[in-house]
Structure 1
Amino acid sequence: MSKRLIEKYNVPAPRYTSYPTVPYWNDEPFEISEWEKSVQLSFKESNDTDGISIYVHLPYCESLCTYCGCNTRITKNHSVEEPYIHALLKEWAMYRKVFGKRPVIREIHLGGGTPTFFAPENLKYLIEGILAGATIHADAEFSFEAHPANTTAEHLTTLYNLGFRRLSLGIQDFDPKVQFIINRMQSFEQVKAVTDKAREIGYTSINFDLIYGLPLQTVESVVDTVEKVSALMPERIAFYSYAHVPWIKPGQRRYKDTDLPGTQLKQQLYNTGREMLTALGYKEIGMDHFTLITDSLYKAEQKGTLHRNFMGYTHQHTQLLVGLGVSSISDSWYGYAQNAKTVEEYTSLINSGVLPIVKFHGLTEEDLLLRQHILNIMCAGKTCWNHHLHSSTGLLQAVERLQPLADDGLINLNSWCAEVTPLGKRYLRNICMAFDARLWAKKPATQLFSMAG
């Protein structure tokens, strides 16, 4: 991979868990009824067949991981657990009224924050409250994120008994120097203990999150981390680029820009990790993901059914994703909605008896068309426009913007299709940017996104 390409494409770029991306949502005033109608339509179209997905944001952490870009609330006061869960269940009850019919739940994902901040009995109360009055889809998959340093056997057993079979552990890097500067401390022994116990209980898919590009990270620390991971062989690994956005997350100002690896070293960190994971038998899936061939993500990519939403990559498609909790984003396919970003505003709106939506974007016909092409690139590595080309100005312009990427060998391009090359897999965010009509129509005056490299 040439230095020229690395430098050329190391530009601010969205991660495309949605299109349009959140900064480009409409900012006009809206009525909650607009979102509710969008939900009702999507629910009516898909509940009985696909079921729905639920993302629950649990924002609390006992300490701040300085690299983190998530919406968090730092506290050691665990009395916050029960009031927050009551608010979540009130929000869910509001959605149940919007549905007007018994929901079929296909996916539940607990994210954070630190879901395992919450006591097992409180998580049990939450999940039982969500499942009451709902039908569980025959192919349901429940998953949660966990901190290796505070996940207990009781957490694992309680959630397993509620139907959870997937577990994601945030590791990032095992190097003590890196862990110290990002304030994320967990030992290999702790990770091994949680992994072994989860497998003993019956969890069938374990994911490790690893990050490259962290402050003070070296090739040696990446090698050591992957070697330790190889002793446990999780079914999935998310190996993704550190997003340095200190203008959004002030905690990242704990370290200086000079503590971060430069563009060339960061590329070396990625290549080292990727080569080691590939040598271990992992297959690269979509963007940033590596799986064993026994994992459902790999099988979905092989079958062409891989899907991507605000929860990341999934092996099955649901049209309606309901986000519960502070800052959660919901997706009806026809529109997006985001909840209030502070616990205080969220609970105030909930206690007022209204859905805590503070941002809404209804997708236009062109949004929907371009969204599908971006999803195709992210999930299948290929997209074709056929008869749509001359019916969309945004698509016509996207095809023009694809030509330089083809010239650089990142895609194979013809009159009707674009297909990502092996070289281009490293630049999926850049390729998707060609289809981002809203970004090109209004280029930001300041940096909104992390660097693509």
Structure 2
Amino acid sequence: MRTVFDRKLIEKYDRPGPRYTSYPPATEFTEQVGAEEYRERLLRSNDRKTPLSLYFHIPFCESGCYYCGCNIIISHRKGIEKPYIERVYKEMDMVSSLLDKERRVEQLHWGGGTPNYLEPEEIKEFMEEIRSRFVFSEDAEVSIEIDPRYATDEQLKTIREVGFNRVSMGLQDLDEKVQRAINRIQPYELMERSMKKLRELGFHSINLDLIYGLPYQTKESFEKTVDKVIELDPDRIAVYSFAYVPWVKPIQKHINPETLPSPEEKLAILEMVIERFQDAGYVYIGMDHFAKPEDELAVAQREGKLWRNFQGYTTRKGVELIGFGATSIGMLYDSYFQNYKTLREYNVAIDEDRLPVFRGYILNEDDFIRREVIMDIMCNLGVSFSRIEETFGINFESYFENELEELKELEKDGLIKVKDRRIDILPVGRLLIRNIAMVFDIHLRSKKELRFSRTI
């Protein structure tokens, strides 16, 4: 199903809203839910015998990109990562001691920061430490984020040898003027060489990240980048909207706001991106993501089995996510937990033999029901009333009487179709799935101000 770009509707519905990597979103987390609750919920999770997904946050970068919104530490001086990694090992000891050793790891992801900040020997040791505490499924999805500017052949070879089978690389924009403005010089030849090396090493899946809305970008300049990306032939592509929030991320103060594209130009860029990648054969999964038709994401969406977690779209619904390292978020079936964001607070907790969790959220029965509906909208582009009823023992029309009434305007605008006890997202509505999902978000109803990025 090809996504349709309707500028008038986008302008009508564009407003702040959650990205729904979880429901409820992280804005609902509270410091009233902390380390002791995390310990109890981890122990209880063993009764479900669900498989695991592990996330490790490696916050170090050799240089700062001015658009960055991540939790990072910039240093050219190697060695500062060692005490941090040792503490992550200690956190693994604490967490793994609470988990049933029979539970298999189906997903592993290293994010950052720049995971390839680590030297080859450190990468080997880190993976050995993980595998000494957890048992992996034979078909585990093992992924890592890489900055190609600092990736050596030896690093890439090591990453493959220790078991990584998926790679995500930041490309952002290939225009030299844009690259200078964001402090990230990364020529096409470097990307071409990196892609070739990764293919030679046998990686199953390669994702490239792009950002639109950066300084000096125009529709014409970014189209050249898009064409080059199509030549590189990645399996997946993520195209993120740049959020200029220097009051939240001070590094963005290096960017002159007068150099940013206008809202109209930014919309034109987005329309071009969607058209060009769809013309090249990629499936628009939704929420910034494109994938080849044979990719697992596209297949899972066609089969109605796609899901979202704090890493974005995933084909492994039902796994429970355990986060390690500063700022990491864990997602158990019935609860969410986040580690301290600053290195200082994280270090203190570990040194005091405490789980480094500082906030979380416990889902109630209504949250479970609404999460299932919202994730079906966000991931699988439709909701079956009967499936929700069978899962939760409710009458859909009665439970969501107000929401179904509110959906009538979206149906009139052609975003959705409500028929045969189903809600289906139409081609015009695919770009506005966040708005559709927001109808079912009861937590938004009490919010006077929405502290989220805009839906487009």
TM-score, normalised to structure 2, is 0.93
> What is the CA-CA distance between 1:100 and the residue it aligns to?
4.3
Q: Secondary structure at the match of 1:450?
A: coil
The structural deviation recorded for 1:393 is: 8.9
Shift of the 432–258 alpha-carbon distance from structure 1 to 2, 3 Å rule, reads: farther
Conserved 8 A contact 1:366-1:394: no
Q: Look up the match of 2:151.
A: 151
Task: Give 2:86's aligned amino acid.
Answer: H
| Structure 2 contact 146–169 (Cα < 8 Å) conserved | yes
Shift, 1:394, TM fit: 7.7
**Cα deviations by residue, 1:276-315 (Å, 9 ceiling, x for unpaired):** 1112111111322111123221222222222211111122
Aligned to 1:73: 73
The separation in 1 between residues aligned to 2:216 and 2:169, in whole angstroms, is 22
Correspondence 1:9 to 2:34: no
The whole-number CA distance in structure 2 between the counterparts of 1:235 and 1:401 is: 38
Distance in 1 between residues matched to 2:171 and 2:139, nearest whole Å: 29
Measure, in 1, the Cα distance between the counterparts of 2:196 and 2:294: 18
Distance 1:229 1:59 in 2: 27
Counterpart AA for 1:403: K
Q: 1:235 to 1:226 in 2, by over 3 A?
A: same
Deviations 1:148-182 (A, max 9, x none): 10111112111111111111110111011111222
- How far does residue 389 in structure 1 lie from its aligned partner after superposition? 6.1
Range with bigger deviation, 362-371 or 301-310: 301-310
Bigger mean CA offset, 66-75 vs 337-346: 66-75
Matches within 5 A, 1:234-383: 234-383=234-383
In 1: Cα distance, 2:311 partner to 2:435 partner: 21
How many residues of Structure 1 are paired with residues of Structure 2 in the alignment?
447
Paired amino acid for 1:452? T
> Are residues 1:451 and 2:454 paired?
yes
Opposite residue 47 of structure 2, the aligned amino acid is: K
Residues 118-197 of structure 1 mapped to structure 2, 5 A cutoff = 118-197=118-197
Partner in structure 1 of residue 425 of structure 2:
420
CA distance in 1, matches of 2:35, 2:396: 31
SS in 1 for 2:125: helix
| Structure 1 residues 60 and 28: alpha-carbon distance in aligned structure 2, compared to 1, 3 A threshold | closer
Please tell me whether the aligned partners of residues 328 and 339 of structure 2 are also in contact (alpha carbons under 8 angstroms).
yes
Distance in 2 of aligned mates of 1:392 and 1:112? 43
| Offset, 1:391 | 7.8
Structure 2: gaps of 5 or more residues: none
Over the matched positions of the two proteins, sequence identity in percent amounts to 40
Counterpart residue type for residue 426 of structure 1:
L
Unaligned runs of 5+ in 1: none
Cα pair distance change 1:71/1:373, threshold 3 Å: same
1:243–1:416: structure 2 CA closer, same or farther, 3 Å change rule? farther
- Report the CA distance between 1:404 and its aligned residue: 2.0
Aligned to 1:34: 37
Deviation at 1:103, TM superposition (A): 3.8
- Check 1:335–1:252 CA distance in 2 against 1; reply closer, same or farther (3 A cut): same
The residue type equivalent to 2:202 in the other structure is: G
**C-alpha distance in 2, partners of 1:34/1:389?**
29
Structure 2 CA distance, aligned partners of 1:406 and 1:368? 25
**Separation in 1, partners of 2:347, 2:203:** 34
Matched residue of 1:360: which SS?
Answer: strand
Separation in 2, partners of 1:368, 1:245: 32
Inter-partner Cα distance in structure 1 for 2:398 and 2:95: 36
| Counterpart position of 2:106 | 106
- How far 1:31 moved relative to its partner? 4.8
State yes or no: 1:403 paired with 2:416: no
Task: Return closer, same or farther for 1:2/1:308 CA change in 2, 3 Å cut-off.
Answer: closer
